[in-house]
Amino acid sequence: MSRISMTEFAVGLAAGAIVAWLWGEQIRDYADEQTRDLRKRAADGLQVVQDRTEGVLETAREQIHSTLQAGQDAVRPKLTPVSS
């Protein structure tokens, strides 16, 4: 494996900057067009995850509520009638 010199690195950096300056907009447009379907599928996948997570959280909330309610009922002193 060969090492590149600082001069070669600087030349490569300058060439990349020139390419980005001359054709940057076309490169961005190409990348946007080529990844549109992939980005749409990713967004749809995130929506599915959100929907499922909301359902799981709602179920957990209901279970927590009913468990805590049962605990309160179990420890709450029962009112007994006072005899005179």
Q: Which two tokens stand for residue 67?
A: 């468990």
CA distance 81 to 84: 10
User: What digits encode the pLDDT tens for the residues 23-71?
Assistant: 989 988 988 898 999 999 999 999 999 999 999 999 999 999 999 999 9
Q: State how far the Cα of 29 lies from the Cα of 71, in Å rounded to an integer.
A: 60
Region 1-13: what's the mean pLDDT? Answer: 86
- The pLDDT confidence band at residue 78, using thresholds 50, 70 and 90, is confident
**Are 27 and 20 within 8 A, CB to CB?**
yes
What pTM was estimated for this model as a whole?
0.49
| Element of type H or E holding 40 | helix 6-75
| pLDDT tier at 84, thresholds 50, 70, 90 | low
